[in-house]
Amino acid sequence: MKKARLALDGVLLLDKSPGHSSNDALISAKRLLNASKAGHTGTLDPFATGLLPLCFGEATKFAQDLLDADKAYDTVVHLGVRTETGDTEGAVVTETMAELSREDILRVLPRFRGDIEQIPPMYSALKRDGKPLYEYARAGITLEREPRPVTIHTLLLTDFRPPFLHLSVRCSKGTYIRVLGQDIGEALGCGAHLNALRRTGVGSLQLADAHTLESFGALSEPERIAALAPVDALLQSFPTVHLPLLLARRFLQGQKLSLGKEQIACPGQEGRVRVYGEEETDARAGVRLLGTGRILPFGVLAPERLIAAPRST
């Protein structure tokens, strides 16, 4: 008899290994948990490693919040070698002898800090006329792409052992680290591609807390379930609002609440918040996450994405 899928709610912080797609990693983790519903929060290229948060159950409602979050990476740029894909997956296009000093690198890096523009690579999942760009690229077709604004918050040189340039990057959503490496290579006059890429952070989530598929698979089923972070791990950057039982019920029914009128502490600024409420039963102590809301003018709390009922994790 086929084992029934479990209705699990939570987040698995996975340390993805190289050679696997993000979807392959998701399928493996879902199978290990026997979970009924799962999704990921943005992909990592197959050659890349590092933090891949996987969402289960109610957590999938908030996956977009991590798609929009800042990301952190450690990367190795191979100077002097251009490839078709900008990474180790593509064939070598050109090779140039690059005699560069650490000072040469430090002179160029400031150009790539702050608000910059990037041209998305042809080998990407962006779509044109319903087809991903990489399909055009594989057919030998190059299309015009509009530059896109991104923000590089931090770009640090951590090591330089020619021809390998080691960088630490913290950036906004939508940043292509492959393109960053290529553009730095062009600025240095020698071209480049990514030799390695490891994601170390997504929003407030950190690689240090992640499991590999191997270590996760070695756990017992109860240990795997216990290893899931709670749903609100995805929402740690949001201010909090706490509601008593009756107001929590009204919030879950989709009603707007005047926090001042109800004498509820308001975060003080308009924007998104995570909302907690008292439990309706003694089966679960304390409070639980109700979902996200938005603070409107005059301290009005409007429901946004809601968690309908507590479920076992």
Give the burial class of 310: count Cβ atoms within 10 A of its Cβ; 0-12 exposed, 13-18 middle, 19 or more buried.
Answer: middle
In order, the DSSP letters of 119-178 are PPPSSSS-EETTEEHHHHHHTT-------EEEEEEEEEEEEEETTEEEEEEEE-TT--HH
Task: Indicate which residue of 45, 74, 87, 232 is catalytic.
Answer: 45
Distance CA 66, CA 203 (A): 7
Catalytic residue flag (residue 159): no
CA distance 28 to 219: 14
Active-site residue set: 45
